[in-house]
Amino acid sequence: MPHLTSSQGTDVLSVLPGLFPWPKPTGRRLDSKKVLVDIINWPRLSIALSETQEEALFRPEIGASIILALDFEIQRLDELYILRERTEVIQFIEEHPSLAPLLLEAYGKIADLFGPYPHIFLEIITDPEAAESRQLVAFISTILPPNSALDRLMQLDEDWWLEVLEGADGNLCITLEFE
């Protein structure tokens, strides 16, 4: 059974019995280990319902919320990135849902280093020696001189990517593509 807590850590079920109606959930996520199923906001109080993704998928009403949240994230990714073989990329992200929040965060980090509206292509690359080994690659398209672009990519690694790399579980690579 999921556990309801307020943003102050108080057990909500003991504090708010019988409070109706419930506001509309926002459907944001916590992290890759716990899926934030719903956030419910009242004035001066937020409630987060979270459970592991495996637990959530066994509960149809919660699983539906996860799917809606992922659909929203994929829609936003489709607006920010250029998807090569769109159907294949979306299917891969659906198979690896922890990639969606990483990619949303990555766009801002990349924009800080490569300009406010970077062209970033998402593409699935298959290892020719192991057909079952696929990876999503984010190609940052740039007209910068190679040394400058590589310096910025290394800065991205140092400032952010190396800290969150584990969350990608080997399914995402960020690299450069020169125009």
What's residue 132's pLDDT? 79
What pLDDT tens digit does each residue of the chain (179 aa) get? 344 444 444 444 443 334 333 333 444 443 444 444 444 333 333 333 444 555 545 544 444 455 567 788 999 999 999 999 999 999 999 999 999 999 999 999 999 999 989 999 999 999 888 777 899 999 999 999 999 999 999 999 999 999 999 999 999 999 999 98
At 16 the three-state DSSP class reads coil
Provide the token pair at 82.
């250029």
Contact (CB, 8 A) for 93 and 99: yes
One domain for residues 155 and 175 = yes
CB 39 within 8 A of CB 12: no
Query: Which residue segment(s) compose the domain that 54 sits in?
Result: 1-73
DSSP 104-117: HHHHHHHHHHH-SS
Claim to verify: residue 13 and residue 32 sit in the same structural domain: yes
Give the integer Cα–Cα distance in Å for 86 and 77. Answer: 11
Number of domains in the chain: 2
The answer to whether 50 and 37 are in contact (CB under 8 A) is yes
We report the CATH number of the domain holding residue 154 as 3.30.70
Peptide bond into 128 cis (omega under 30): no
**Judgement on whether residues 31 and 63 belong to the same structural domain of the protein:** yes
Same domain, 61 and 85: no
pLDDT at 72: 86
Same domain for 50 and 135, yes or no, is no
Joined together, the tokens standing for residue 153 give: 């990519």
